[in-house]
């Protein structure tokens, strides 16, 4: 009975912690559940009720309630401190297994907007769970764009005063449709039995027009729009715009807004380039790349150094326009006409992050650096993101809100430790991405491949000439090139420069065939005995370089044997047949091992010219 009582108490405490972590704070209850031991008699139950001056009643008329002796009594919800003490005293009674609050549960919020089922993007970021915690109350988001028209599905959305820097007036109406669509993703009027839903539908929209009816705007207007938003109470600025050129004036505006406590979020760009657009590339700006309905990078989205996080931006096709992002906007040909339209672009991905940022700020996390940290640390990481398509990962509103609520209460040291464990779990044992901006690299498998190559070298030395073989620079270089390569380089990146040189320089020979691919599957032409075999034929007679080829064979043997056994990630052209791919790698690993042995043996039979593993006399 003691075990059951303590188990029940632990469950009650865990339930309270979970409800608190989900942002409910002080979860309401007006009654207490008391579970007596099954052997308790009615007279004993009455005695307990009399002793503690509570009016116990069966929880229901069901056979389960009678059999398990489950009772309820009412309490004053305004005096939870004394109620908790009472529950503890009751739980200590030998006749009671546990006593805990009769918590109230509710269904997860699902908006009744008629077109909500078509918004795959909101489900992709787990909005239903997030809405139960926050809906963006009290937060002002500036949409610095083509302006915003208050269409019918923005009728219940609260607006604050904005400005039109294109026409220099106080009427920032949209004549293009882009800005209205963006505003809809952030705060479309929601649960109004009409149209579609928005992410932070209780947030306020500040319309700031800096782009004209064709979607173009000047640097000076965009800069003024950013400063205006920062000076007039916006705590989030959405910049679904960009340029390939950097400007000191823009960077100063971004710094100005950040210093005023504004979270700035911008589109990475739509050129399918590995260079992020400005202002997204600046420090203190959260750069957003776009994903399609399948969660993969959208074909048009920019990527690479500077991308901080990814979010749904749509990936429409001719047959599937619904793969775009659906919101209400205006008809560009007739700005007075509202319509529901599927748009796509990193412009559409950016307001997803801005909306979730508003939900985070509504929970009390206002510092822009803290908001960015919550967004990144709660994102779902994408393994093997070699080209940094996704930044920290895919946006997850529910996890972001759970993290935002917990961050205010948890010990910072404990929170850091949890973050560290989560990071190790999501990205592999140790990861250069912890220090460098770029795709994750599993450190342990790489080191094991290098160690494996060294072990193979020791074995060959033992078999051939225990007293004659030593290491040489070509041999060690060959082992490294064949086994792991200079893999830390894969995690390095320079803002504004392509990443392929680092990918190429950091790859081992077996990886060269897929150095630029997102998959870690190996190319059979490179991950085989073919290349080292050809090099052995060409360089076996060279007194120095042959030891480099022997080292290459040793390293590749280690790489292929480990890849075919412990660290198998596929072989291109072999489809989904894992056994065939594994067999191919293992066979070629054994062949490389044999080639290394034969090459070393042939070299040691020429003592007058051997300089690699042969010890000079």
Active site residues: 145, 178, 347
Peptide bond into 279 cis (omega under 30): yes
Counting Cβ atoms within 10 Å, is residue 10 exposed (0-12), middle (13-18) or buried (19+)? exposed
- E strand or H helix that includes residue 402: helix 397-407
> How far is the C-alpha of 95 from the C-alpha of 258, rounded, in Å?
60
> How far is the C-alpha of 585 from the C-alpha of 562, rounded, in Å?
9
Contact 353, 392 (CB under 8 A): no
Q: What backbone torsions phi and psi does residue 98 show, to the nearest 5 degrees?
A: -165, 160
DSSP codes joined into one string, 475-498: HHHHHHHHHT-SGGGGG---TTS-
Contact 454, 349 (CB under 8 A): no
Beta strands across the sheet bearing 70-74: 57-58, 70-74, 31-36, 96-101
CA angle 588, 590, 591 (to 5 degrees): 60
Residue closest to 366 by CA, chosen among 541, 374, 255: 374
Give a three-class secondary structure readout of 118-186. HCHHHHHCCHHHHHCCCCCCCCEEEEEECCCCCCHHHCCCEECCCEECCCCECCCCCCCCHHHHHHHHH
If DSSP codes are grouped into helix, strand and coil, which group holds residue 575? coil
CB atoms within 10 A of CB 121: 26
Q: At what angle do helices 368-378 and 346-362 cross, to 10 degrees?
A: 110
> How far is the C-alpha of 477 from the C-alpha of 455, rounded, in Å?
15
Strands (E), 292-357: 309-312, 325-331, 334-343
Contact 615, 468 (CB under 8 A): yes
Residue 27 tokens read as: 């979860």
Sign of the dihedral defined by the CA atoms of residues 205, 207, 210, 214, in that order: positive
- E strand or H helix that includes residue 80: helix 80-91
Which residues fall within 8 angstroms of residue 493, CB to CB, at 6 or more apart? 304, 305, 388, 436, 437, 438, 499, 502
Contact 135, 359 (CB under 8 A): yes
Residue closest to 212 by CA, chosen among 146, 165, 143: 146
Q: Are strands 57-58 and 70-74 parallel, antiparallel or unpaired?
A: antiparallel
Q: Are strands 263-267 and 236-239 parallel, antiparallel or unpaired?
A: parallel
At which residue do the structure tokens 């729009």 appear?
A: 225
Length of the chain: 617
Q: What share of the chain is helix, strand, coil (3-state, %, to 5)?
A: 45, 15, 45
If DSSP codes are grouped into helix, strand and coil, which group holds residue 398? helix
> How far is the C-alpha of 575 from the C-alpha of 92, rounded, in Å?
62
Counting Cβ atoms within 10 Å, is residue 396 exposed (0-12), middle (13-18) or buried (19+)? buried
Contact 199, 359 (CB under 8 A): yes
């Amino acid at each position: 009975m003691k075990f059951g009582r303590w188990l029940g108490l632990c469950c009650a405490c865990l339930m309270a912690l979970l409800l608190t972590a989900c942002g409910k704070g002080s979860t309401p209850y007006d009654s207490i559940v008391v579970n007596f031991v099954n052997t308790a008699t009615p007279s004993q139950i009455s005695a307990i009720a009399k002793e503690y001056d509570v009016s116990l009643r069966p929880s229901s008329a069901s056979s389960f309630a009678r059999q398990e002796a489950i009772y309820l009594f009412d309490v004053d919800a305004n005096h939870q401190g004394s109620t908790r003490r009472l529950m503890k005293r009751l739980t200590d009674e030998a006749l009671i297994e546990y006593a805990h609050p009769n918590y109230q549960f509710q269904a997860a919020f699902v908006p009744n907007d008629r077109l909500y089922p078509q918004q795959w993007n909101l489900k992709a970021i787990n909005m239903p769970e997030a809405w139960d915690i926050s809906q963006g109350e009290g937060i002002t988001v500036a949409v610095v764009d083509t302006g915003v028209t208050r269409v019918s599905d923005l009728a219940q959305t609260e607006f604050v005063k904005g400005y039109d820097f294109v026409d220099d007036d106080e009427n920032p109406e949209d004549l293009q449709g882009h800005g209205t669509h963006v505003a809809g993703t952030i705060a479309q009027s929601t649960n109004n039995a009409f149209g579609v839903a928005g992410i932070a539908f209780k947030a306020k929209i500040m319309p700031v027009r800096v782009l004209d009816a064709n979607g173009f705007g000047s640097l000076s207007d965009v800069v003024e729009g950013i400063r205006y938003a920062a000076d007039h109470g916006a705590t989030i600025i959405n910049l679904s715009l960009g340029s390939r050129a950097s400007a000191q004036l823009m960077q100063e505006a971004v710094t100005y807004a950040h210093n005023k406590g504004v979270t700035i979020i911008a589109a990475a760009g739509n050129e399918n380039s590995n260079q992020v657009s400005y202002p997204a590339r600046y420090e203190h700006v959260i750069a957003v790349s776009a994903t399609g309905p399948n969660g993969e990078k959208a074909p048009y989205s920019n990527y690479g150094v500077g991308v901080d996080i990814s979010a749904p931006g749509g990936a429409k096709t001719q047959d599937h326009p619904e793969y775009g992002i659906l919101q209400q906007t205006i008809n560009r040909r007739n700005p007075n006409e509202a319509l529901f339209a599927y748009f796509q672009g990193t412009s559409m991905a950016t307001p997803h992050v801005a909306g979730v940022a508003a939900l985070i700020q509504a929970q009390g996390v206002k510092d822009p650096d803290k908001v960015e940290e919550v967004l990144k640390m709660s994102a779902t990481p994408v393994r093997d993101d070699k080209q940094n398509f996704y930044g920290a990962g895919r946006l997850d509103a529910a996890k972001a809100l759970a993290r935002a609520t917990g961050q205010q209460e948890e010990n910072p040291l404990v929170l850091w430790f949890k973050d560290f464990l989560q990071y190790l779990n999501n990205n592999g044992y140790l990861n250069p991405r912890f220090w460098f901006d770029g795709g994750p690299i599993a450190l342990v498998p790489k080191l094991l491949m290098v160690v494996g190559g060294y072990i193979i070298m020791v074995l060959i030395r033992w078999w051939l000439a225990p007293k004659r073989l030593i290491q040489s620079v070509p041999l060690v270089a060959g082992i490294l090139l064949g086994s792991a390569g200079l893999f830390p380089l894969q995690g390095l990146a320079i803002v504004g420069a392509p990443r392929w040189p680092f990918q190429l320089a950091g790859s081992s020979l077996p990886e060269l065939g897929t150095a630029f691919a997102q998959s870690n599957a190996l190319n059979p032409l490179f991950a085989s005995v073919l290349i080292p075999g050809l090099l052995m034929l060409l360089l076996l007679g060279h007194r120095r370089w042959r030891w480099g080829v022997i080292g290459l064979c040793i390293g590749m043997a280690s790489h292929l044997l480990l890849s075919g056994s412990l660290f198998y990630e596929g072989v291109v052209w072999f489809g989904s047949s894992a056994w065939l791919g594994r067999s191919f790698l293992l066979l070629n690993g054994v062949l490389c091992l044999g080639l290394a042995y034969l090459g070393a043996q042939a070299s040691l039979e020429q003592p007058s010219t051997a300089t690699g593993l042969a010890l000079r006399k």
